[in-house]
Amino acid sequence: MDIAMIGTGYVGLVSGTCFAESGNNITCVDIDQGKIDRLNEGVIPIYEPGLTEMVQRNHKAGRLHFTTDLESAVTKAKVVYLAVGTPQGDDGSANLSALWSVVAGIAPFINADTVVVTKSTVPVGTNKGIYDRLFELNGIHYRVASNPEFLKEGAAIHDFMYPDRVVVGVREEETKEILNELYSPFLRTDKPFLSMSPESAELTKYVANALLATKISFINEMANLCEKMGGDINDVRRGIGHDQRIGFSFLFPGVGYGGSCFPKDVRALASMSKANDLPPTILDAVDQVNDRQKFVLTQKVDQHFGGDLKGLRFAVWGLAFKPKTDDIREAPALVMIEQLLERGATVCVFDPEAVENVKMELGDKVEYAEKSMDALAGVDALAINTEWDVFRHPDFDAIKSTMKSPVIFDGRNLYNPVQLAGLGFTYYSIGRAMVKPSSDNA
Ligand code: NAD
């Protein structure tokens, strides 16, 4: 099938590449000429495990093309996917300016049989808006479908190739069949292809993200309570997780969720709720708890050192909003770094993949280490914000001898408090009591 994928970011590039992998002919379009040039040279602009090899293989095989030329991509396409960004607008609602600009841009080049599919996360009613806008521009009732994307950065290829389900919002049986055929290679293990109205499909994406965000804010609030009341959130988590009605997923306490989806999608859904005169009580609370949680680690720093950090040096491990991605949008680490700098500290950062993106944001406000251990030289404390696997089993003796003082603020509960105390570390984590460091090793 000939497909145009408009918007070649995390979602467009992964979706386009996976569709090419199953034999389709894909043209990825973007307005960013630099990005398209790099992709044509085989350079992948984002870090996503397994993506480089798959892009290069399909590009070489002639199934995956990259261009800024909308006309050439759209004219030959049977399906035109819209995968541009829908960031948060000033009032919390989704900013659809890129989407509307693409809708106007494709109108001259589509034909009566073209299927236009929205993969971007868009407010309820956008599908109908695109349908109406294309009719206004061309006088034709096109087939316009919604196909929200559920992939997770860091596991995007696996999620796309082996989805838990595919959701499509369609008006006509024929559109449903075209999309069913397109997805059939990915649904061979009997995972469901769920067709519904465009409005339900648009809502499904927001409701899924809002529920996942709710789980995170809930466990974070409970973690803070555990800490105050002498409980251990890890024990509580195990205690509830074995209940089959509850389960374990998305119930790991930390420093709050970030990324390009949860924060903006929770707010956009709240904004839709308000526009319909329904108070978004839970959604607002989820957002507030998350905003507060991003400060929890710095509060522990204040508690340990006092508010003034002048003359102190910190290492920060983990900058991406989660492991296995270089995405730093709304990353909790950036909030913490700003707090440390405001209090007068100097900061040296390390992340396995996200450093280049952070350099664009923070420039020379912080120092950058090439290796995790290099960041620790002479520091008064280490703060961990992202649970990259490489941080899980470090050489604690080497850490202790490299740091000026053995103090760790762990925002992801990577280590065992008793073990760390035994090694002489002052170790703060989330929702677990401090254990006094052993004086033998301090
Ligand atoms: P992104 O910012 O990584 O990519 C968007 C791309 O669109 C950019 O490359 C940008 O240059 C391009 N673009 C903007 N205007 C354009 C135009 N007029 N013509 C052509 N290209 C244009 O965004 P993303 O993370 O890929 O997200 C895209 C959509 O998918 C959003 O609605 C997002 O909410 C949704 N989504 C994202 C994820 C995720 O994990 N990132 C998961 C599911 C859904």
Q: Between β-strands 346-350 and 313-317, what pairing exists: parallel, antiparallel or unpaired?
A: parallel
Q: Is the pLDDT of residue 442 over 60?
A: no
Q: What is the mean pLDDT of the chain?
A: 97
- Among the atoms of ligand 1, which is closest to the Cα of residue 86? 32
Name the residue with the closest Cα to ligand 1, atom 20.
30
Q: Is the pLDDT of residue 189 over 90?
A: no
Backbone angles phi and psi of 336, in degrees to 5:
-65, -45
d(CA 316, CA 360): 17
> Cα-Cα-Cα-Cα dihedral of 187, 191, 192, 193, to 10°?
-20
For the chain, the residue count is 442
Quick check: CB of 85 below 6 Å from ligand 1?
yes
Q: Is the pLDDT of residue 257 over 70?
A: yes
pLDDT digit string, tens, across residues 121-177:
999 999 999 999 999 999 999 999 999 999 999 999 999 999 999 999 999 999 999
Task: Give the model's pLDDT for residue 321.
Answer: 98
Quick check: CB of 227 below 6 Å from ligand 1?
no
Is 283 within 8 Å of 93 (Cβ atoms)? no
Percent of the chain residues topping a pLDDT of 90: 97
3-state secondary structure of 77: coil
Task: Give the model's pLDDT for residue 440.
Answer: 59
Token pair, residue 220, equals 């974070």
pLDDT digit string, tens, across residues 82-125:
999 999 999 999 999 999 999 999 999 999 999 999 999 999 99
Backbone angles phi and psi of 192, in degrees to 5:
-75, 145
261 is catalytic: yes
- Among the atoms of ligand 1, which is closest to the Cα of residue 11? 26
Q: Is 138 exposed, middle or buried (0-12, 13-18, 19+ CB in 10 A)?
A: middle
Please, which contacts does 172-176 make with residues 24 or more away whose CB atoms are closer than 8 Å?
A: 172/143, 174/143, 175/115, 175/143, 175/145
pTM: 0.96
Task: Give the model's pLDDT for residue 307.
Answer: 85
Confidence band, pLDDT 50/70/90 cuts, at residue 190:
confident
**Nearest Cα to 46, choosing from 16, 73, 76?**
16
What is the arithmetic mean of pLDDT over 386-396?
Answer: 97
Name the residue with the closest Cα to ligand 1, atom 27.
85
Task: Give the model's pLDDT for residue 441.
Answer: 56
